[in-house]
Amino acid sequence: MNLKVKTKLVKEISESQNADIEKIKAGNDIIIECKNLNLWYDDNHALKDINMIVKKNKVTAIIGPSGCGKSTLIRSFNRMNDVIEGCKTEGTVEFRGRNIYGNRISAMKIRKYIGMIFQKPNPFPMSIYDNILYGPKIHRMRDKKKLETILKNSLEMAVLWDEVKDRLKDSALGLSGGQQQRLCIARTLAIEPEVILMDEPTSSLDPIATAKIEELINDLKEKYTVIIVTHNMQQAARISDYTAFMYLGELIEFGETEQIFENPQERLTENYITGRFG
Amino acid sequence: MASTTEIYEQDTTEFEIEGAFDTDKLVHLILLMCASLATIVVFFIIFLLFQNAGNFFRKVPLEEFLFDDHWLPTDEEEPQFGAYNIIAGTLLVAFGAMVIAVPLGILTAIFIAEIAPPKISKFLKASVELLSGVPSVVFGFFGLIILNKYIKEVLGAPSGATWLSGSIILAIMALPTIVTVAEDAISSVPMHYREASLAMGATRWQTISKVILPGAISGITAAVILGLGRAIGETMAVLMVTGNNNVFPDPITDIFSPLRTITGTIGIEMGEVPANSLHYRALFALAIVLFLITFIINLTANFIISRFNKKLRGELKSKSRNQILIPEIIKENKKTITYLILSILFGWLLTNIFDIINAVIISLILIGIILVLRIISPFKLEEYKFLIYFYMLFTLLAWVFSTWFDWETAILMCLALAGFIFILKILNPINQQRVVFSIISIAAFISVLSLSIIIYYIVSNGLPAITWEFLTEDSEDSGRAGGIFPMIVGTLWLTVGAIIYAVPIGVAAGIYLSEYAKEGPITKIIRTGIDNLNGTPSIVFGLFGLAFFVLYLDFGISMIAGQLTLALMILPTIIRTTEESVKSIPQSFREGSLALGSTKWQSISKVVLPAAMPGITTGMILGMGRASGETAPILFTAAVFKQKSLPRYVIQPVMALTYHLFVLATSIPDSDTQAAGTALVLLVLVMIMYSFAIYVRNSYQKKKNW
């Protein structure tokens, strides 16, 4: 399929999309909703009219070929794109019904509720202990006992406690890649967010470490809402409840994961999932 | 939709910004102010130089100042201020230094980067860096005591204080700068260029000369220009070894002639003139000339370096060259015009150095060669351009040699040299490489040797002076006996003070430039300001300190005036190293912190700065090393030779190791051992700081695993 045909298909799809969303919207457990979200990097129109919802205590996966805007989209859920120079956002992203790009909203506070895990594990060059308590400390938590509890709880939840409990004062950079990524998850859990964004969290890990993280994501669902960007379709199929397929900056199809993978409504989605391009 | 809004509506206020006060904005503002300070200082220096030169140019016409060679500032009836010889002397001594230092420096850089085995290369690199910290007054001391004696006794010059010794000392001082920068440029040529060339069967020398050096050429040029800047702005060493006679070498190749430079003149005379006298203003006028020369040199070097970096990153478009508006006619006939200019220049030189008849003969020979070549082979003139350049070059070389020896020897020497180059050209590549590599190794050996001879001399002559009393007692008999305790204390006080003033501002400015500054006109101005501050000669800082801190703010000759002057001088070093080490911290750390809801300043202060600390520390220690080794900035602002007690307040003057050594070496006879001892203590002090800085940086680079 050549590019022109693809682009044409993309245009037809936009209309049919709203119908999907209405279906999923039923129920009152929506935590994030973006409406007509557009984003530019200087002149590059990276996100085009995205309409999407995220349900509470579910795992939502965003898939699509490289450069389709999936990382950009997930970064706009906690305003991490603010860091990038020349980035302009239009439209709204509502978190608990409040537009996070609205007036008087503090990006820092939003990020306290919507944490993020990055593609490459990025523990700070400090001890494991300081890494975990970095978040609570910058949010002015000073109670020693509480900090200890947070430390243990978050490491346990990230299934890392047993591996590191005897060397909490060691540098976090001495951990293996998989351990580092779980440490980053624990670090995010320590600030008790409501939503955890994960930007290809396993792309730099080996299969065993990946399996551990996937298991962990499944456990996290009980308490948290997870949005995960992945280039690995099997991963999306395995762990997510909802899946969004993006292509060239547009949201092509959004629905329950089962439906997307077994019965995609759009030809583009089908082609991508069956591996005809990507 | 309505339902979600209902559930959460009441508690979304917790996302809101609290109050109107924004720490981040305040921090941003403070950092911007610190960064601007460097730029303001540059403008302020320019302003003060002109302000203090005042009405000088109204009393003395600019033509007289620039083109007259009578410098009689203290003549009571009719003082004269013709600085021609002084300005020419500055340029000549720097030129001579470049003639020695450029080939040696570049060859040494090639040796370190391409030829030496890794271990030797590492060792050489560290030693060269270490040696860049040797204080100029130590070089001057060596030149005055050893080199000048050698030139007088062995080479038979009438006096040891000569242009030659000035140039040799300056060359040795400029070597570390040239080697370090050129080595960086050569090493940063990507590895795959080398592999591509070697894979086609080229020898290593062919790869170096045809691929690597052309790739690194702008970096190497920048190295040369920076070395030139250092040589022109150098004060103490030149002042001590060149004799300071207001003469112009006659003939112009007379390297045994004494010279006088701008920096030397200011260094000697400024201490004795009443403020705001015409003589005082004349010295500031000289400083303006010096500042302008170094300013132009710095701008050129920075322009070339930024082009080089763009080229390495592949950002340089070939279009950019055409953006400069050059008329089409000139563009099309570029080569013809180049030849025309060259031959006019050559002709002018000929008529200047020979009489007309000889000049005509030489030109006729050249034309004859070209004609013969055209007749015997149908190639274009292009093919012979090297031959023609060679002819021009060797004519001049022969003339230079002829002023030193007789004509026959000169021509013979030139022919031998030309023959050698010719043979080298026709050798097969492998033998050619052998010859060239030996030459390069010898050059590297000479560079290292010259630096080690100085160190060896200082150590071997200084050691006998070192006793417990020498280190802990005050000096006696004008420094001929006793110790140097107050000078050590003074130097430490000056250094610590400079660091205390410079570090907060420098680190803040470095953080601003790396974390907050957006590329735009303001950032560009700030960066240019810092770069120029970095290349400003230390004596200009001295004058600034004198005019502003000592006279205008009325601190008098005092410790605080010296500390502030030194602080300004080391500010650029600290800004640069901070900026670089903060920039080298991966973006993922900042994102990780921001994603946890930290403010920008929290992520900088809690994550980025601790990680960048070793780099910042390195800059700080380098700054300390530089501050403790400098003489010129404290010459008129803080230092005195003899004082009853240690300074108890910052408004008292201090004694300092550098100044003590300077006075001992130049004005106190029979104090050689004491002077060598002082030089050794100074050298050890500075070397400790430098090696500590290099150690911190290297171990940090090794440990870094993100």
- Is A160 within the bounds of a domain? yes
Residues 18-57 of A with CB under 8 A from B: 25, 28, 30-31, 33
Is the residue at A96 inside a domain? yes
pLDDT band at B530 (very low <50, low <70, confident <90, very high): confident
3-state class (DSSP) for residue B162: coil
Residue A110 with chain B: CB contacts under 8 Å: 15, 597
Q: In this structure, is residue B242 part of a structural domain?
A: yes
B597/A108 Cβ within 8 A: yes
- Calpha distance A195→B190 (Å, rounded): 44
Question: What are the distances in angstroms from CA B27 to CA A73, A110, B20, B508?
Answer: 30, 22, 15, 10
B549 shares its domain with B402: no
Q: Between chains, do A97 and B8 touch, taking CB under 8 Å as contact?
A: yes
pLDDT reported for residue B127 = 87
Is B381 in the same domain as B474? no
In residues, how long is chain B? 706
* In-domain check, residue B417: no
Q: Check whether residue B244 and residue B364 sit in a common domain.
A: no
Top-confidence residue, A13 or B22:
B22
Angle at B598 (CA atoms; ends A41, B37), nearest 5 degrees: 80
A181 in a structural domain: yes
pLDDT at A161: 93
As given in the structure block, the two tokens for residue B44 are: 């302020």
**C-alpha distances in Å from residue B694, one per residue of B56, B182, B616, B619, B687:** 46, 19, 12, 10, 10
Number of H helices, E strands in chain B: 33, 4
Contact A191 B597 (CB under 8 A): yes
- Please indicate, yes or no, whether residues B49 and B169 belong to a single structural domain of this protein: no
Query: In this predicted model, which residue has the larger pLDDT, B483 or B688?
Result: B688
Within a domain: B168:
yes
Tell me, what's the pLDDT at B380? 61
How many angstroms separate the first and last alpha carbons of chain A? 12
A78 touches chain B (CB under 8 A): yes
Arithmetic mean of pLDDT, B369-377: 72
Domain with residue A258: its CATH number is: 3.40.50.300
Q: Residue B320: pLDDT band by 50, 70, 90 thresholds?
A: very low
Can you give the pLDDT at residue B3? 42
Query: B378 is in which domain, residue-wise?
Result: 329-406
What's residue B5's pLDDT? 42
Chain mean pLDDT for chain B:
85
Domain co-membership, B505 together with B652: yes
Answer yes or no: do A97 and B4 touch at CB < 8 A. Answer: yes
Confidence of residue B542 (pLDDT cuts 50, 70, 90): very high
Residue B503 pLDDT class (50, 70, 90 cuts): very high
More confident residue, B321 or B681: B681
Instruction: Please check whether residue B593 lies inside any domain of the structure.
Output: yes
Give B591's contacts in chain A (Cβ within 8 Å): 80, 83, 116, 118, 122
**Which of B359, B374, B406 is at the close of a domain?**
B406
Residues 94-113 of A with CB under 8 A from B: 94-98, 100, 104-106, 108-113
Domain for residue B671, yes or no?
yes
Q: What is the CATH number of the domain that holds B557?
A: 1.10.3720.10
Residue B524 host element (H or E) = helix B521-535
Distance, CA of B264 to CA of B617 (rounded, Å): 34
pLDDT score, position B199: 87
Contact B5 A116 (CB under 8 A): no
CB pair distance less than 8 Å for A80 and B590: no
Does B214 score more than 60 pLDDT?
A: yes
pLDDT on residue B1: 40
Handedness of CA B6, B10, B12, B17 (dihedral sign): positive
Residue B658 CA to residue B132 CA, distance in Å, equals 16
Residue of A151, A162, A153 whose CA lies nearest to A127: A151
Which residues in A lie closer than 8 A to residue B8 (C-beta atoms)? 96-98
Q: Which helix H or strand E contains B81, and what residues bound it?
A: strand B80-81
DSSP β-bridge partners for residue A247: A250
Kindly report which listed range (A190-194, B333-337, B421-425) carries the lowest average pLDDT score: B333-337
**According to the 3-state scheme, what is the secondary structure of chain A?**
CCHHHHHHHHHHHHHHHHHHHHHHHCCCCEEEEEEEEEEEECCEEEEEEEEEEEECCCEEEEECCCCCCHHHHHHHCCCHHHHCCCEEEEEEEEECCEECCCCCECHHHHHHHEEEECCCCCCCCCEHHHHHHHHHHHCCCCCHHHHHHHHHHHHHHCCCHHHHHHHCCCEHHHCCHHHHHHHHHHHHHCCCCCEEEEECCCCCCCHHHHHHHHHHHHHHCCCCEEEEECCCHHHHHHHCCEEEEEECCEEEEEEEHHHHHHCCCCHHHHHHHCCCCC
Instruction: Check whether residue B375 and residue B502 sit in a common domain.
Output: no
* B128 and B219 fall within a common domain: yes
Q: Give the best-scoring range by mean pLDDT among A236-250, B48-62, B523-537.
A: A236-250
B259 in helix, strand or coil?
strand
What is the model's pLDDT at position B6? 44
Pick A222 or B74 by higher pLDDT. A222
Domain containing residue A21: 3-273
The total number of structural domains that make up chain A: 1
Kindly state whether residue A278 falls inside one of the protein's structural domains.
no
Fill in the DSSP letter of residue B333: T
Residue pair B628/B686 in contact (Cβ under 8 Å)? The answer is yes
Q: Could you give the ipTM of this predicted complex? A: 0.85
- Which chain B residue shows the shortest CA-CA distance from A33? B1
Residue B103 touches chain A, beta carbons under 8 Å: no
Q: Which residue has the tokens 């050096």?
A: B213
Q: Are A23 and A47 in contact (CB under 8 A)?
A: no
| Average pLDDT of the segment spanning B632-638 | 89
Of B637, B629, B668, B631, give the one whose Cα is nearest residue B130: B629
The alpha helices in B200-327, defined as continuous H runs, are 204-207, 213-233, 236-241, 262-269, 278-312, 319-322
Q: What is the CA radius of gyration of chain B?
A: 29
Same domain, B485 and B354: no
Instruction: Please give the average per-residue pLDDT across B501-507, as a whole number.
Output: 94
Digitized pLDDT (tens) for each residue of chain A, 278 residues in all: 455 555 565 555 555 555 566 666 666 688 999 999 999 998 899 999 999 999 999 999 999 998 889 999 999 999 998 888 888 999 999 998 889 998 888 888 889 999 999 999 999 988 999 999 999 998 888 889 999 999 999 999 999 999 999 999 999 988 999 999 999 999 999 999 999 999 999 988 899 999 999 999 999 999 999 999 998 889 999 999 999 999 999 999 999 999 999 989 888 999 998 887 75
Out of B82-96, B301-315, B512-526, B572-586, which region has the weakest mean confidence (pLDDT)?
Answer: B301-315
In a domain, A53, yes or no: yes
pLDDT at residue number B406: 81
Q: Is B598–A108 a contact, with Cβ atoms under 8 angstroms apart?
A: yes
- In a domain, residue B416? The reply is no
Q: Measured between beta carbons, which residues in chain A are less than 8 angstroms from residue B7?
A: 28, 96-97
Give per-residue pLDDT as tens, A11-21: 555 555 555 66
CA distances from A100 to A32, A83, B16, B22, B158 (A): 10, 15, 9, 19, 84
**What is d(CA A61, CA A214) in angstroms, rounded to the nearest whole number?**
12
Distances (CA, A) of B592 to A140, B582, B610: 18, 16, 15
Q: Looking at residue B10, what is its pLDDT?
A: 45
| Residue A206 within a domain | yes
Residue B317 backbone phi and psi in degrees, to 5 = -95, 145
Q: Residue B395 is inside which H or E element, if any? A: helix B385-404
Domain identity same for B444 and B479: no
B50 lies in the same domain as B98: no
Task: Specify if B586 maps to a domain.
Answer: yes
- Both B113 and B136 in a single domain? yes
Question: What residues in A contact B599, CB-CB < 8 Å?
Answer: 108, 138
Whether the pLDDT of residue B659 is over 60: the answer is yes
For chain A, positions 169-188, list CB contacts with chain B under 8 A: 173, 184, 187-188
Asked whether residue A239 is domain-assigned, the answer is yes
Distance from CA of B589 to the nearest CA of A (A): 6
Count of CA atoms in the C-beta half-sphere (13 A) of B147: 30
Q: Does A62 reside within a domain?
A: yes
pLDDT band at B7 (very low <50, low <70, confident <90, very high): very low
The pLDDT-based confidence of B63 (bands split at 50, 70, 90) is confident
* pLDDT for residue B13: 74
How many domains does the structure of chain B reveal? 3
What separation, in Å, do the N-terminal and C-terminal C-alpha atoms of chain B show? 45
Residues of A whose CB is below 8 A from B17? 104-106, 109
B389-419: pLDDT as tens digits = 777 788 888 888 888 888 888 888 888 988 8
Assigned token pair, A29: 């457990």
B441 and B475 belong to one structural domain: no
Question: Residues B565-576: what's their mean pLDDT?
Answer: 92
Which pLDDT tens digit goes with each residue over B427-453?
A: 888 888 999 999 999 999 999 898 889
The pLDDT of residue B704: 66
Query: What pLDDT shows up at residue A253?
Result: 92
- State how far the Cα of A224 lies from the Cα of A195, in Å rounded to an integer: 6
Q: What is the pLDDT of residue B329?
A: 67
